[in-house]
Chains A and B, each alone.
Chain A
Amino acid sequence: MNEDNKIKKWLMKPIPPAPRNEYQAILERIDKKDKKGHYNLKWGVALGAGFCVGVLLFLILPQIRQNQTQVMAQNTEEVESFLDGAFTEYVSSFEEDETL
């Protein structure tokens, strides 16, 4: 037997037969992969959106807090100065009455 025939003899193993419903199994696998792909896509979009919102909140919230604090401080200052002014006026009105 020449070399090529020897090689062929050893390589040519009998092939196990295909299952009867192989084609059906392939179609079901395609269908499953399609569904899995859509499912993964929805999850991917949801996670991505959640991540973006999280990052935005992380960046924006401190700014909002800072602005709120500044506005509150400003408001407090204004209120205090108004009250000071009003009190001073009130007190000075008594002093004027006394001189009168």
Chain B
Amino acid sequence: MKNLELKDFEEIYRTHAGRVRAILYRLDSNCDIDDLVQEVFVKIWKSYNSFEAKSSLSTWIYRITVNTAIDASRKKKFWSFFQIFSKEEGEARADTAVERDLVEKGLANLSSEHRTALVLSYCEGFTNEELASILEISEGTVKSRLHYAKKEFMSVLEKAGGSYE
């Protein structure tokens, strides 16, 4: 049974924290990002013994990151069911802020699988092969999810208006 030394754990943190934070935030910018980052690294610490080196360490870490984001999103959806009234009063906002809201909502309306594929591909630059490894799906499925996500997101951008040119 492998044990993670503290100095190795710190090395893992220094190497991957930035990207973990970026992935979590881009998947859901309304999340409690600091809390989720901590949770990811706690999971890494606790489950390092079960890491079998079938994939690279980075892939394994990003897999934990994506799963943590998905779990957080599900919990949020569960609790938002009980929020009957949501106040959205406020000052009038600039058009770009309104458009960004529309885009954010459009992105949120994608399923977590499609949103994850889109974000990891376009923002983090993962190849289809890397995505397949992180998400534990076939490359064909990655391509299909990306194709659908891109189509849906483009239609959201078109509805949001023209300032995205």
Contact = CB atoms under 8 A, between A and B. Distances in A.
The A interface, classified by DSSP as helix, strand, loop or mixed, is helix
A91 to B, nearest CB: 86
A25 B164 contact: no
A25 to B, nearest CB: 6
A11 B42 contact: no
Q: Please list the 4 inter-chain residue pairs (A to B) with the smallest Cβ-Cβ separation, ordered nearest first.
A: A26-B41, A8-B122, A15-B25, A15-B22
A25 B13 CA distance: 12
Chain B CB count within 10 A is highest, among A9, A10, A30, for A10
B150 interface: yes
Contacts, number: 68
B38 A22 contact: yes
Interface string B123-163: 10000000000000000000000000010011001000000
A75 B127 CA distance: 89
30 contacts: A3-B154, A4-B122, A6-B157, A6-B164, A6-B165, A7-B118, A7-B150, A7-B157, A8-B122, A9-B164, A10-B100, A10-B153, A10-B157, A11-B107, A11-B118, A12-B122, A13-B29, A15-B25, A15-B26, A18-B17, A18-B21, A18-B37, A22-B38, A23-B13, A25-B34, A26-B38, A26-B42, A26-B45, A29-B38, A30-B46
B119 A30 contact: no
A16 B33 CA distance: 8
B71 interface: no
Interface residues of B, number: 30
B38 A11 contact: no
B103 interface: yes
Nearest to B39: A29
